[in-house]
């Protein structure tokens, strides 16, 4: 019988001297420096005049009555019909709501007790 050579299924480690890893680390460092430098430059250029912002209240009134109040329009809604005055400017009694109160007869009550 012949001896058959069976190939190995194990992955062989390749010999790496680490140059590609060093290159990736250096590229990342350069990219980080560029990003930080860009942010610093952007922040410095946005400085503007450098004055302190002043916050003031609005001079307009807080509440304003609307020109059109809306709601249901009723004929003669602004008339004052319950206030009738005579010529002297006094209000007149227009009627009575009920009969006058009774006055008790105190003598009859004392006699009954």
**Whole-structure pTM value:** 0.32
- Does pLDDT of 97 surpass 80? no
Mean pLDDT taken over the chain: 81
Residue 107 φ then ψ, to 5° = -65, -40
Chain segment 40-75, per-residue pLDDT in tens: 999 888 776 667 878 999 999 889 888 887 888 777
- Please tell me which residue, 65 or 38, carries the higher pLDDT value: 38
More confident residue, 1 or 75: 75
């Amino acid at each position: 019988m012949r001896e058959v050579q069976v190939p190995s299924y194990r992955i062989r480690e390749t010999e790496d001297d680490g140059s590609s890893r060093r290159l990736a680390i250096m590229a990342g460092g350069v990219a980080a420096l560029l990003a930080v430098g860009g942010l610093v430059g952007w922040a410095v250029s946005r400085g503007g005049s450098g004055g302190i912002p002043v916050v003031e209240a609005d001079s307009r009134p807080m509440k304003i009555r609307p020109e059109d109040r809306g709601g249901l329009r009723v004929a003669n809604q602004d008339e004052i019909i319950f206030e009738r005055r005579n010529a002297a400017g006094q209000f007149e009694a227009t009627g009575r709501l009920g009969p006058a109160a009774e006055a008790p007869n105190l003598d009859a009550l004392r006699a009954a007790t």
